[in-house]
Amino acid sequence: MSRFMLWPLLWILPLILCTATSEDGSAPASEPEECELQRLSMLQARSVLSSSPRLPWDDRVFVFGTYHKGGSTMMVNIVERAFKALGADMDVDSCFRGGFLKNITECMRNNVTSIRLFTGFFCPRDLEETKAIQKPRGARTVMEIRDPRDMMVSAYCFAKSGGDYGVQIFPLHAEKIPFPEILTMGPAEGLRVISQQMFGLLDCMNRSQQKVRDDPDVLVVRYEDFARSSRDFDKRVLQMFHFLFEDLVSPAQYRDMWEAVKVEDLNRQEESGNTNITEHTNDDECMRRSTAVLRALPDINAKVRDFQRSLGYA
């Protein structure tokens, strides 16, 4: 399914296991020789890195494209934690609040322009815009998509619970979500209202995804693949990091990033104590009930199905 090769992960996973188990003194989970080998390559990588003080974003442009209700909060948090682990001086929260973020430069205290984060929508013209910044190691883009039906239902449930107060989900759409009316709209009426904006967003998501299909510098990830289980979360996060950073960071930095982003795993929230995640996700009952209602709205459901088919979800 993914065009990204998994082989580079093979050396990262045992490294995490070796390091994690040796730190608390218990027996290593994998073969001792294997761990020794990993330590060796880590040392070598460190010495290479120490002779080059450059930061990954000095050499490469990093672009993240996400969509409203498509797992964007999770991705924003992963990006922030990972880049901070690499030493970036950024504070996404301070510039993210109050709307969609298109330009992360404003979150970087040191004015780094080569990390770009699109938090509400990522249209084909946004893809073009990011090509303007040139770096020696080119650009790598991660685009996150989600099942269009879940995005549609989630947008309704979120607005219904008072989130997105009066926002334009999709800024190319002239009208905002009607507040406070939406708060008292049932799923049939609410979905109809929300769908006008969400179809614009889904169209962008579809067109961007079609456009990058054969681009080796773009990795399309699915929210579902991060949310399914902790094992999947780890696998996707490492796959994404390796695609983005390759040899621009050391194995130790890969481990630091992974340690830093683990708290964003939905399935680990209890143990990590990060209850902020659940506060942002929707109430299951609203999702279930509204999904059933959506299936019974022929015109909207048919269009959602078209997007599902185009994006490989049906």
Ligand X SMILES: *[C@@H]1O[C@H](CO)[C@@H](O)[C@H](O)[C@H]1NC(C)=O
Considering only 15-23, 163-171, 203-211, 251-259, which stretch makes contact with ligand X by CB under 6 A?
203-211
Among 26, 50, 51, 110, binds ligand X (CB under 6 A): 110
| 65 to 144, 218, 220: CA distances (angstroms) | 6, 10, 9
Shortest spacing between CB 10 and ligand X, in angstroms: 31
Under rule CB under 6 A, residue 106 binds ligand X: yes
Distance, in Å, from the CA atom of 75 to the CA atom of 226, rounded to the nearest integer, reads 10
Closest CB to ligand X among residues 210, 230: 210
Contact 67, 200 (CB under 8 A): no
Contact (Cβ atoms closer than 8 angstroms) between residue 266 and residue 281: yes
In whole angstroms, what is the distance from residue 158 CA to residue 91 CA? 25
Displacement of CA 197 from its chain's centroid (Å): 21
**Cα distance between residue 195 and residue 70, in whole Å:** 15
Among residues 229, 274, 281, 301, the one that binds ligand X under rule CB under 6 A: 274
Kindly tell me which of 86 and 95 has the beta carbon lying closer to ligand X. Answer: 95
- Binding flag, residue 259, ligand X (CB under 6 A): no
210 binds ligand X (CB under 6 A): yes
Residues 240-271 as b/e (b if ≥16 CB within 10 A, e otherwise) read bbbbbbeebbbbebbbbbbebbbbbbbbbbee
| Footprint on residues 294-313 left by ligand X (CB under 6 A) | 306-307, 310
Q: Is 207 in the site for ligand X (CB under 6 A)?
A: yes
- Kindly give the residue spans of alpha helices, DSSP state H, lying in 143-275: 148-160, 187-212, 223-227, 230-245, 251-261, 269-272
34 binds ligand X (CB under 6 A): no
Please, which residues have CB within 8 angstroms of residue 277's CB and are 6 or more apart in sequence? 74, 264, 266, 269
- Single residue of 263, 286, 287, 297 touching ligand X by CB under 6 A: 263
Q: Which is nearer to ligand X, 15 or 112 (CB)?
A: 112
Query: CB of 62: closest distance to ligand X in angstroms?
Result: 15
When binding is defined by CB under 6 A, the residue of 47, 52, 103, 230 that contacts ligand X is 103
Verify binding: residue 196, ligand X, rule CB under 6 A. Answer: no
Nearer to ligand X, 135 or 207 (CB): 207
Please pick, from the candidates 2, 47, 52, 276, the single residue that binds ligand X as defined by CB under 6 A. Answer: 276
Beta carbon nearer to ligand X, 34 or 306: 306
∠ CA 236-241-243 to the nearest 5 degrees? 95
> Is residue 17 involved in binding ligand X (CB under 6 A)?
no
Beta bridge partners of 142: 64, 219
User: Where along the sequence are the contacts to ligand X (CB under 6 A)?
Assistant: 103, 105-106, 110-111, 203, 206-207, 210, 263, 274, 276, 306-307, 310
